[in-house]
A and B are shown apart, each in its own frame.
Chain A
Amino acid sequence: MYKTFKYAFKTTIPILFGYSFLSFSFGILTINLGFDWYIPILMSVFIYSGALQFLLVGILTTNLTLIDIFVTSFLLNIRQIFYGLSFLDKFKKSKYYLIFALTDETYLLMNNNISDNIDKQYYYFFVSLLNHIYWISGTIIGVIFAHNIKLDIEGLDFILVALFIVLLMEQYKKLQVIFPFIIGIFSFVVMFILEMNNILLYSILLSIVILFLYKRD
């Protein structure tokens, strides 16, 4: 088991840096927006989704109903539905924690080639737990940092855009086709021109419909 832990730790080292810095910025950003110290920490423990947490602290100050929050959260992360599909018959030990902790990055790491003498169930668990710990501890450090040193740095949230750009390029490398990107751009531009109230929600819905119709045959 110790060997599996060491192996899992090694593969998560890039995530250690990526998550720590992202959640660190999340902690600072949240405190700078005027939230109490425990809010970002609770979010990192129980929500554990970068995109959703950044979006939430941005929209929580606007007048949204709980239904708005539920629907937006669900649709924002609806892509995660497709992550679980790869692990339907693979998660066995502590299945529900593994499902809860299935972030983009954890999903990618679990799809990596794992060497044969490693217990996969323990590997899944350690990767999930380590990434979650990086995420929470980065948030806590960010909260402490923001309280003690008044940093007036704008634009930390760009890290998320940069992360998505990199994920996008990796997607293109894998797929080698551009139609999924065109569908996304088209859906967004349509909703943008129509000046829909909830652009994100409607453009995601439209893209799902187009993608489904396009690949139906």
Chain B
Amino acid sequence: MIEIFIASIANFITRIFPFILFKRIPKKLKIFELYFPATILIILILYIVAQNNTHTSIYIHQFIGIIATIVLHLRFNYYLISIFGGSFVYIYLVNFI
């Protein structure tokens, strides 16, 4: 319970931080604001993928799932199709193959 409270406070601080600090965007941070999401996203992906190591074939399954997501997104360019399609491929592989 206390863990949830701590996490919610930490999360809220990240969201309110710039409002406390600035009245408008500092020039130096504008560049940072632009590129940081890309960097953080790739780290999160690598982290989650590396964490899932219950069995060795899971890396292959994740790889196929990710490729499926990318292909679907390139083909249809609609995020729900890409997310659910790619996830379906992965969940199917993990549970039924």
A interface, CB within 8 angstroms of B: 14, 17-18, 21, 39, 42-43, 46-49, 51-52, 56, 58, 60, 66, 69-71, 73-74, 77-86, 88-89, 91, 95-96, 99-100, 102, 153-172, 175, 179-181, 183-185, 187-188, 192, 199-200, 203-204, 207-208, 211-212, 215
Contact B39 A183 (CB under 8 A): yes
Residues of B contacting A56 in the complex (Cβ-Cβ under 8 angstroms): 3-4, 7
Interface size class, chain B: 35 or more
30 A/B residue pairs, CB under 8 Å, sorted by A = A14-B80, A66-B2, A66-B6, A69-B6, A69-B7, A70-B9, A77-B10, A80-B15, A81-B14, A81-B17, A81-B18, A82-B37, A86-B25, A86-B33, A88-B23, A91-B19, A155-B90, A159-B83, A162-B83, A165-B70, A165-B73, A166-B83, A167-B41, A168-B45, A169-B74, A175-B38, A180-B35, A180-B36, A184-B40, A204-B40
Of all chain B residues, the one with the shortest Cβ separation from A51 is B44
A-B pairs under 8 A by CB, number: 229
- Given A52-B11, A166-B73, 18 additional A-B pairs, CB 8 A: A46-B5, A47-B11, A69-B10, A70-B6, A73-B6, A80-B11, A82-B37, A84-B16, A88-B24, A99-B12, A162-B66, A164-B41, A166-B69, A168-B41, A169-B74, A203-B43, A204-B43, A207-B43
Task: Evaluate whether A199 and B50 lie within 8 angstroms (CB atoms) in the complex, with A18-B83, A47-B7 already known.
Answer: yes
B66-97 to A contact mask, C-beta < 8 Å, 1/0: 10011001100001101110110011001100
Q: Are B41 and A211 in contact (CB under 8 A)?
A: no
Enumerate chain B interface residues (CB-CB to A < 8 A). 1-19, 22-25, 29, 31-51, 61-62, 65-66, 69-70, 73-74, 79-80, 82-84, 86-87, 90-91, 94-95
Residues of chain B within 8 A (CB-CB) of A159 are 83-84, 87
